[in-house]
Structure 1
């Protein structure tokens, strides 16, 4: 049985209000929780120690308020921790060195806690974030996938766009921070035409995808074998652009999609996944992407509350979840 005194370790920033929804539930259930932002807190009074020897592994996390035996951690929730950086008082080179050592040292310790249940394991999160791999896994899992080209060859890109019977959109392969005149910019999914493709495509891989003639979008949030889905009606191609204009209503997940979700999660060994689909008028659910650590608290209260409870259940049960 899981040690009832074992703590849940929540790795996230101190300003993560989504995590607060789950932490309140765990507090009501009297589940001990330690909240840590390792990229920040280890420069603000927290200390982490681990020892390894034949047949034994031990570790201690000490914060200004408590001390945690890492061998007693029942679960780890990898939510939204800050990037690892060195102390601000160091020069640039030393700070970069310290940040790298923290990533590989602290990150390695927290990803290797014996017996802990991870939601999700950080290495599984990273593996599941590559969009080309997502599309390949989606195909193997049985999802319909829109015709897609990933290339840094401008001629191949133009040819692909020109030969499609429908519209084609461009999507970034990663949400890389980008600024213009010091102001952060967001790269939205947008339609692209063959004549718009220039030699600049050669600078890096670009993702071009046939636009699904959708009736609506769907977000499916998976927590273990529990699925929570909302239909999204938006006037925009990319519903994230103006979320104030979208309408969300709960929707059932077809059995065939649920089976594919389960197969997809199993491939990456994920407990949590946020799946996006474009649904046609004929009822075909086309896989667009799966964010292994997607946001979910923007959904209707009934869905948000259910997701929070499901995550709390996994963190409370630990290895038995």
Structure 2
């Protein structure tokens, strides 16, 4: 790779986290190409060749052409879902959509010699909560007692024995109201009386509530760890109260740092956004790790440090920066 080799940023147009990283790369003189696979095929054209030397060819957007074997690194953020071509619907549209996902998606995830932050298949593997919960315990994190079930009686028994307990969604499905505004299922405390036959309709996750004094968001970028103490949340889920919060960058306890690095290695991740509850004794209680979590909402001094660490990974893929 050369100084003119581009960084490919795979994301949608509206992505504030990607924006700050792209801006930082720009100040360093690193060329960047932004690509949303959802624009394929109407605004993206791909030609790929595979021979004895591997994968080559190019992807063209409305403004740029990128050689597939000349990308220095890939920042895989939040692309929109693949879409069928304009004018098609039904089974024809679904067929084209699947060909795009497995064709273009496979190409973008397999660029030769490119460094990924993160490789999309690693992101996906780490995004199914049961696997991270199990691996977290194996890596040395303290994981609160947790139940995954669709059995209402088992759920009631767990909540009775381990209460106070909370319910957490296993995946943040996109919901909108009649006016098109986004809806979110938050972490909520539950009692045995709250649980009814609806539990039997799908999988649910219940967890013992942590008696916390603060929250911790620990952003890991390779070997660099940025643990931020979050104070001021009046409820269980601090994401509902951004305007009430204060953020303080703190040291990461050595045992937590080791567990974080073991976890990243286990899933093949360069980046991870870890959430913990902090108790009065200073113990970190594992909640989850989002392999593609946001960070640009932190105060500028914290955001700049994380942005620089990600830009380092993307700008210098040949360095041992993990």
User: What secondary structure, in the 3-state scheme, does the structure 2 residue paired with 1:71 have?
Assistant: coil
Q: 1-side partners of 2:54 and 2:264: how far apart?
A: 31
Matches within 5 A, 1:66-145: 66-145=64-143
Of 148, 169, 174, the match for 1:172:
169
Q: How much is the aligned-residue C-alpha RMSD, in angstroms? A: 1.4
Q: Figure out how many residues of one structure are paired with residues of the other and give that number.
A: 318
Q: Retained in 1: the 8 A contact 2:84–2:93?
A: yes
Unaligned runs of 5+ in 2: none
**What SS does the aligned partner of 1:156 have?**
helix
Once the two structures are superposed, residues 56-102 of structure 1 have per-residue CA deviations (whole angstroms, 9 ceiling, x without a partner) of: 32121122323211101110000111111112321233222222111
Q: What is the CA-CA distance between 1:127 and the residue it aligns to?
A: 0.2
CA distance in 2, matches of 1:197, 1:115: 51
Residue in 2 aligned with 1:258?
257
Output aligned runs, 1:139-218, within 5 Å.
139-164=137-162, 166-179=163-176, 181=178, 184-218=182-216
Q: Secondary structure at the match of 1:214?
A: coil
| 3-state DSSP of counterpart to 2:82 | coil
Which residue of 1 is the match for residue 14 of structure 2? 15
Per-residue deviation, 1:17: 2.4
Identify the match of residue 222 of structure 1 among 214, 220, 223. 220
* Distance in structure 1 (CA, Å) of the matches to 2:192 and 2:283: 27
Say if 1:16 and 1:179 are closer, same or farther in 2 by CA, change over 3 A.
closer
Residues 55, 68 of structure 2: 8 Å contact kept = no
TM-score, scaled to structure 2: 0.95
Q: Distance in 2 between matches of 1:187 and 1:60?
A: 41
Contact 1:75 1:319 in 2 (8 A): no
Structure 1 gap ranges (5+): none
Partner of 1:313: 312
Match of 2:61 among 59, 63, 83: 63
* C-alpha distance in structure 1 between counterparts of 2:16 and 2:147, whole Å: 37
Is the 8 Å Cα contact of residues 249 and 300 (structure 1) preserved in structure 2? no
